[in-house]
Structure 1
Amino acid sequence: MADKNEKHKTAMAKQKAKVDKSIAAATTERGIVLLLTGDGKGKSSSAFGMVMRSLGYGYKVGVIQFIKGEQMSGEELFIRNHHPEVYFYQMGTGFTWNTQDREADMAAAQRTWEHAEKLLADETYHLVVLDEITYMIGYKYLDAERVIKAINERPAEQSVVITGRGGGSAIRELADTVSEVHDVKHAFKAGIKARKGIDL
């Protein structure tokens, strides 16, 4: 037992030295752009985890949701009931495959983007979430260059979380951190209905 404990202590000491070295090397302090992408479930959920984290530190947060909004989501209900100080705007059209109206969807996307641009120009916002915006870029409802320009020119201390599949290589290059969520298995494919609090 003593030998195992000593080996564990040595391994953890090496791990700590490695972590400490990485922390010491990170000397730049500024806001980041984080892209949460991939075909799996949990991208928006992860983004809202960061919303809660920022609110816990007392930071100002803004959330812009593209696509969603035909029915109130659980995250919207929670924020409106418990954190009304959060700037929360939804496009409000629902999924594009439901509307089947490209012109109306493009107009809604443009209106929604105008709200996002205001947040991206406001230095009082510590965190801005652009939920599902990659679809708007992929469908060409929004001009990718305009989106990238606004994100690049945001206040230095502001962080941005982008969620959704696709969106093009320029978004990946723009991001400081890119995380992919992979779909290994999904209950819906087995005929199990979406469940409030889990999927909605």
Structure 2
Amino acid sequence: MQIKSDQSRGLLMVFTGNGKGKTTSAIGMAVRAAGHGMKVLFLQFIKGSWQYGEMESLKKFGDTIEFHVLGGGFTWESGDPDHDIKLANDGWEKAKSAIFSNRYQMIILDEFTYLMLFGMVSREEVVSVLKNRPVNLHLVLTGRMASREIRELADLVTEMNPVKHPFENGVLAQKGVEF
């Protein structure tokens, strides 16, 4: 099928599932977009200030890929749900502002599905923002258990499913492979 110029528009893409690779796939999208001179915003929810290779690599892109960590760490480990909800809502406000700013050609909301899953942000508001986003903005959402609404709105949904993992044989996460 040949694509006509009037069929070019921003896409809503979702990387979900219980397997590894959701964030890494989103980073690949960011790198690809940056390679074409597109301005990318990468907003990471939940993970916190963990030091890992992808984040360090993205810093090397300078202003082309803007990267912000918005979470305080894995919410199920924090012990302070009120603080987690505040961080989630502050991050969502930043995301909404960026979505409608016309500053970026691609925005990645990494680990965002958890905010909806845990009821930390308004599901209705998220759906409304996604439906009304600028027509030329590419938007990528990652995280496990993407909601039915998000899957239905998306132009592309990729589900990562684990088949085999070294952890099953007692091999712990390794620098450069999993972080």
Question: TM-score, normalization: structure 2?
Answer: 0.93
Equivalent residue, structure 1, for 2:177:
198
Q: Quick check: 1:35–1:172 contact (8 Å CA) kept in 2?
A: yes
Tell me, in whole angstroms, the C-alpha distance in 1 between the residues paired with 2:3 and 2:139.
Answer: 24
Tell me, in whole angstroms, the C-alpha distance in 1 between the residues paired with 2:95 and 2:46.
Answer: 14
- The one of 108, 119, 122 aligned to 1:140: 119
Please state how far the C-alpha of 1:24 moved relative to its aligned partner: 4.9
Q: Quick check: 1:89–1:112 contact (8 Å CA) kept in 2?
A: no
Tell me, in whole angstroms, the C-alpha distance in 1 between the residues paired with 2:96 and 2:23.
Answer: 20
Residue-pair matches, total: 178
1:30 aligns with 2:9: yes
Larger helix fraction of residues: 1
- The one of 83, 95, 99 aligned to 1:116: 95
Letter in 1 for 2:92: W
Distance 1:24 1:154, change over 3 A: closer
Superposition CA RMSD, Å: 1.6
1:156 aligns with 2:138: no
- The one of 76, 81, 84 aligned to 2:62: 84
Please state how far the C-alpha of 1:87 moved relative to its aligned partner: 2.3
Residue identity over aligned pairs, in percent, reads: 37
Please state how far the C-alpha of 1:112 moved relative to its aligned partner: 1.0
Letter in 1 for 2:169: A
Please state how far the C-alpha of 1:26 moved relative to its aligned partner: 8.8
- SS at structure 2 position matched to 1:117: helix
Letter in 1 for 2:109: L
Letter in 2 for 1:83: F
Q: Quick check: 1:43–1:181 contact (8 Å CA) kept in 2?
A: yes
Please state how far the C-alpha of 1:140 moved relative to its aligned partner: 0.3
Letter in 1 for 2:72: T
Please state how far the C-alpha of 1:77 moved relative to its aligned partner: 1.4
Equivalent residue, structure 1, for 2:33:
54
Tell me, in whole angstroms, the C-alpha distance in 2 between the residues paired with 1:29 and 1:134.
Answer: 26
Q: Quick check: 1:89–1:115 contact (8 Å CA) kept in 2?
A: no
Please state how far the C-alpha of 1:27 moved relative to its aligned partner: 5.6
Query: Which is worse superposed, 89-98 or 173-182?
Result: 89-98
Query: Which is worse superposed, 103-112 or 84-93?
Result: 84-93
Please state how far the C-alpha of 1:45 moved relative to its aligned partner: 0.6
Equivalent residue, structure 2, for 1:189:
168
Tell me, in whole angstroms, the C-alpha distance in 1 between the residues paired with 2:153 and 2:52.
Answer: 29
Please state how far the C-alpha of 1:28 moved relative to its aligned partner: 1.1
Tell me, in whole angstroms, the C-alpha distance in 2 between the residues paired with 1:79 and 1:183.
Answer: 26
Deviations 1:79-118 (A, max 9, x none): 22x1231222112311112103211110110111111111
Equivalent residue, structure 2, for 1:72:
51
Structure 2: gaps spanning 5 or more residues: none
Tell me, in whole angstroms, the C-alpha distance in 2 between the residues paired with 1:49 and 1:58.
Answer: 14
Letter in 2 for 1:187: P
